[in-house]
């Protein structure tokens, strides 16, 4: 996992309402992060929140995906998140995709339509897309929300970045809760490194010391371990299910082959010696040795009498 992935996850867990602010949702009165086990372990979203807006009597569900670049896989992630939350809770969540950096001219997908093979069933999903470079830095700086400050370095900055990052540092020093001060500086620097390569800028946000310490990583360690355990468990269960399914299929195939062999033997004997051959069905069905059934199948076409076949059938 890249450092900026970890930084984004920390910001979602501690400042989820600030992410919603980036999406234009500015009237959140209460919110809480939810555990991501609502979806399959191999498809965990970056963030899962419950938040209530001032205009809503009940809180809503929000899925957050953070993408470094506008890649096609965004659509797969957004559709997966919406579908799995709906299956788990019976509620369609608000899906918000935050794209950090522009790359080329490829636009980020904002919707997806899945169709069945016949086209009679379709699944249409769209989501809120935030292209961080399109948000003016001054808009974020004007917000009375210290949680948006780490994102400022990736926003639309008019002019040199140093004065803007200096203002971010001053705001964090002044407004951040004491137990989050170092972490906010660390994640601010991690995100700034996605865009800039000037060490003097990073010194404004704590420099190499902050990067080496990354105080929030200890807090996330337990979560990463939990996710790794869940993924390993899911992989193990998938292997076990695949093994069980394979065993069932193999057993069904063996039973089908056995039944077919018995049927052929009885049909040959019936054609040669009449309906009395049907009385041998139970004895044939009790044979589990494929080689023995093959021998009896050959004998069914060459024996002189049904009694001779029956005598051989009873011989071990």
Helices (H) and strands (E) in the chain, counts: 12, 7
Tokens 């086990």 identify what position?
A: 37
Count of C-beta atoms within a 10 Å radius of residue 38 = 18
Pairing of strands 60-67, 94-99: parallel
Q: What does pTM read for this prediction?
A: 0.65
**Which of 96, 6, 2 minimizes the C-alpha distance to 48?**
96
Q: 181: which residues sit within 8 A by CB, 6+ positions away?
A: 172, 173
Residues 154 and 69: their CA atoms lie apart, in Å, by 12
Pairing of strands 47-53, 28-33: antiparallel
Q: What is the pLDDT along the chain (316 residues), one digit of tens a residue?
A: 455 677 888 899 899 999 999 999 999 999 999 875 544 445 678 889 999 999 999 999 999 999 999 988 899 999 999 998 998 889 999 999 999 999 888 888 999 999 999 989 998 999 999 999 999 999 999 999 999 999 999 999 999 999 999 999 999 999 999 989 988 998 999 899 999 999 999 999 988 776 666 655 555 555 556 666 777 788 888 889 889 999 999 999 989 989 999 999 999 999 999 999 899 999 999 998 888 888 999 999 999 999 999 998 888 7
Residues 259 and 273: their CA atoms lie apart, in Å, by 21
Residues, the chain: 316
Would you say 145 and 21 are in contact if contact means Cβ atoms under 8 Å apart? yes
Backbone angles phi, psi at 253, to 5 degrees: -65, -40
Query: In the structure encoding, which two tokens stand for residue 223, read together?
Result: 């979560």
Would you say 63 and 98 are in contact if contact means Cβ atoms under 8 Å apart? no
3-state secondary structure of 187: helix
Query: In the structure encoding, which two tokens stand for residue 95, read together?
Result: 């899906």
Residues 80 and 73: their CA atoms lie apart, in Å, by 11
Residues 281 and 278: their CA atoms lie apart, in Å, by 6
């Amino acid at each position: 996992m890249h450092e900026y992935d970890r930084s984004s996850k920390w910001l979602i867990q501690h400042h989820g309402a600030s992410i919603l602010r980036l999406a234009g949702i500015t009237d959140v009165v209460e919110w809480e992060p939810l555990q991501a086990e609502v979806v399959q372990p191999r498809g965990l979203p970056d963030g899962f929140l419950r938040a209530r807006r001032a205009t809503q009597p009940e809180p809503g569900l929000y899925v957050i995906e953070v993408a470094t670049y506008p890649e096609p896989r965004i659509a797969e992630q957004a559709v997966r998140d919406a579908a799995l939350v709906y299956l788990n809770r019976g509620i369609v969540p608000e899906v918000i995709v935050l794209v950090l950096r522009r790359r080329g001219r490829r636009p980020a997908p904002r919707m997806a339509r899945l169709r069945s093979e016949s086209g009679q069933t379709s699944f249409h999903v769209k989501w809120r897309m935030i292209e961080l470079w399109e948000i003016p830095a001054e808009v974020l700086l004007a917000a009375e929300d210290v949680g948006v400050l780490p994102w400022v370095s990736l926003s639309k900055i008019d002019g040199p970045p140093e004065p803007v990052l200096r203002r971010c540092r001053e705001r964090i020093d002044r407004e951040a809760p004491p137990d989050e001060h170092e972490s906010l500086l660390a994640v601010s620097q991690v995100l700034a490194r996605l865009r800039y390569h000037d060490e003097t800028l990073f010194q404004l946000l704590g420099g190499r010391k902050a990067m080496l310490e990354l105080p929030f990583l200890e807090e996330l360690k337990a979560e990463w371990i939990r996710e790794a355990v869940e993924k390993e468990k899911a992989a193990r269960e998938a292997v076990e299910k695949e093994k069980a399914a394979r065993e069932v299929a193999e057993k069904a195939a063996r039973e089908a082959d056995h039944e077919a062999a018995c049927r052929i033997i009885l049909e040959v004997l019936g054609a040669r010696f009449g309906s009395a051959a049907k009385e041998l069905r139970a004895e044939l069905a009790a044979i589990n040795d494929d080689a023995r059934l093959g021998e009896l199948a050959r004998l069914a076409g060459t024996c002189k009498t049904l009694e001779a076949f029956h005598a051989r059938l009873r011989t071990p």
